[in-house]
Amino acid sequence: MGINLWKVVYFVSAVLLNSTGSLAQLDVCGKSPLNSKIVGGVDASPGTWPWQVSFQIGGKHFCGGSLINENWVLSAAHCFQSVAASNVKVLLGLENIQGTNPNKQQRSASKIINHEGFNESNTLYNDIALVQLSSSVTFNNYVVPVCLTATNSTFSSGTNVWITGFGRAGYNVDLPSPQTLQEVQVQIVSNSDCAKVYGANVILDYMICAGVPDGGKDSCQGDSGGPLVLKQNTTWVQAGIVSFGSGCDVVRHFEDRLTYSDVEEIFSYHELWYLGKKIDGSGHNAESTNSKKQLFHDHLAYRYEVLEMLGKGSYGKVYKCLDHKTNEMVAVKVIQNMNSYKQEVEILDYLRKKDRHGSHGIVFMKNYFVFRGHLCIVYELLGRTLSQLKRSQRCSSAKLRCIARDILKCLCLLEKEKIVHGDLKPGNIMIGKDGIKVIDFGGSNFEQKIWFPLAFTLYYSSPELIMKHPSTTATDMWSLGCILAELHTGQYLFPGTDYKDQIARITEVLGRPPAEFFQNMETLDHFYGKGSM
């Protein structure tokens, strides 16, 4: 198609140097005594780019960054979506990822601060983050902060700049072992020319485009957050942060298989981890997430490969997927009615912050994103549900106590935070390698809000829920009692055939509720029809 491909980076200035200790380090920043993939790049000599940072989780590199003083690193906000600072290691002075690094300094991330204007649902804008180190680094020939450009600096089209990183060498092509730091020289491209590719509404004044018109040199997965630098006299200064672009020169590589809509969509993603059979021939293809066609081996957000369907309901479908970025299996819930289920993301994000160590039996939400009009929520992949366990075997008293204990860990946290799950049932309780996990918070809400769940299951619903009374966390305790009784006996505790029969069965066992309980009869008739009681 003859499209010119350029990388978009975020302009950064010396305003950021107001961080503690920065002014005292202006005399050392940008000095590279040893300086006399990046697609199309070459190996960098040790110490050439002493501010280069590798962010890693579990020993795996996922993003780049640049040291700006002894305590802070500059990077891209999109790198840290759904990432806890406690899991991030910060490595400096690296020559490569896999080999020997005699000059390595390693720290943990103690704090991650994303730009206040960064929005996880539209990650193209304000894509800037600061990462605080757990302790100060020691400056030497291999670890030096980069200088930041002065406020209101401008860069003319055609200016030569450098991009560095440990990212892939191309689409689905890892750097050859030992994965040496890559460097590539590109040129600044005017924003007006860049806007012809990405659109005027995408390229804003605080962005910089860089690349080569003919392609072949580009940043790739793992280069995000890394520095774009240039030399001013004898000092290296950072002008931008690698953010988004064509991705691994993939558009040029697959241009004969891409439609213009494909290209437009690809340009809106920071990283491209998987393209599916339609583009790279790696599996079976389907056209869209809302069709009846199967998605198997197609992609979700150019990262997740769909392998099989795990379940479906009124909300949409759940797929088992391979996350090509982390190389792990996950479950992705693809929701048709996005607005109705935004609350699930808000609740899970809130609980994720309250349960940082995952010790309360709540399914872990790894990520969420909007893809072609669908809300997609990424969860850890778990095993069987309690419904499947019930069908395969009866629970012993000892096993029942273990199950109750694990579920109560979840309910204790929900009670503390005044959150009502609203649809606790065997099908929403799963068995993982770390024990019981409660899933499906699609009908959850905070106790103080007047709300009614989108859906609930009659056999496990409290009388208050059935009668449309405001629900409290006691609703979930009622459901737990019904679940444990069912697991022990193999029978529903209150097997009502409809709402009226359910209330009657509960009343038969526990007695008639107080008179004020039935003051909501008009609401009951409205929802369930006249004569429901």
Residues acting as catalytic residues: 423
Residue 183's nearest CA partner among 75, 51, 37 is: 37
3-state class (DSSP) for residue 309: strand
Q: What DSSP state is assigned to residue 246?
A: S
List the structure tokens of 277: 């059979």
CB 393 within 8 A of CB 448: no
Residue 510: which region, alpha, beta or left (left: phi > 0; alpha: psi -120 to 50)?
Answer: alpha
Buried b (16+ CB within 10 A) or exposed e, 38-57: bbbbeebebbbbbbbbbbbe
CA Rg value for the chain: 27
Give the whole-angstrom CA distance, residue 6 versus residue 35: 26
Query: Cα dihedral sign for 207, 211, 213, 219?
Result: negative
Task: Give bridge partners of residue 133 from the DSSP assignment.
Answer: 109
Give the whole-angstrom CA distance, residue 222 versus residue 38: 9
List the structure tokens of 169: 């060498």
Give the whole-angstrom CA distance, residue 146 versus residue 153: 16
Q: What is the signed CA dihedral for 399, 400, 405, 409, rounded to 10 degrees?
A: 110
Q: Which helix (H) or strand (E) holds 279?
A: helix 277-280
Distance of CA 338 to the CA centre of its chain: 17
Strands (E), 383-441: 419-420, 429-432, 435-438
CB 121 within 8 A of CB 370: yes
If you search the block for the tokens 């069709």, which residue do you land on?
A: 291
Q: What are the residues whose beta carbons fall under 8 Å from the beta carbon of 489, sequence distance 6 or more?
A: none
What stretches of 128-221 show up as alpha helix (H) in DSSP?
191-198
CB 424 within 8 A of CB 483: yes
Is there a binding annotation on residue 399?
Answer: no
Residue 149: which region, alpha, beta or left (left: phi > 0; alpha: psi -120 to 50)?
Answer: beta
Where is the binding site for ATP, in residues?
Answer: 333
